[in-house]
Amino acid sequence: MSFLRRIIILLLACVSLSCTNHEQTSVALQPYDDFNNTLIKQVSSSVKEIYGFETVVLKHKPIPREAYITVKAARYRANKLLQILAEEKPDTVTYILGLATKDISTTKRDKDGNIKSPKEKYTDWGVFGLGYRPGESCVVSTFRLKNPEHKLPLRLQKVCIHEIGHNLGLDHCENKMCVMTDAAESIKTIDQVKLDLCAACKKKIYN
Strands (E), the chain: 26-31, 54-57, 68-69, 75-77, 95-100, 104-106, 125-127, 129-131, 137-141
- In the complex, least distance from residue 149 CB atom to Zn ion, rounded to whole angstroms: 24
Beta-bridge partner residues of 47:
none
Cα–Cα distance for residue pair 169/93, rounded to 1 Å:
17
**Position among 180, 188, 190, 204 found at the interface with Zn ion (CB under 5 A):** 180
Between 67 and 201, whose beta carbon lies closer to Zn ion?
Answer: 201
Q: Which of 132, 175, 187, 195 binds Zn ion (CB under 5 A)?
A: 175
Tell me the closest approach of the beta carbon of residue 90 to Zn ion, in angstroms. 25
Contact 99, 43 (CB under 8 A): yes
**Which span (28-36, 103-111, 118-126, 165-173) binds Zn ion, by CB under 5 A?**
165-173
Measured from the CB atom, the residue of 54 and 196 that comes closer to Zn ion is 196
156 neighbors 164 (Cβ within 8 angstroms): no
DSSP of 163-178: HHHHHTT---BS-TTS
100, 104, 168, 201: which one binds Zn ion (CB under 5 A): 201
Binding residues for Zn ion, rule CB under 5 A, total 6
Q: Contact residues for Zn ion (CB under 5 A)? A: 173, 175, 178, 180, 198, 201
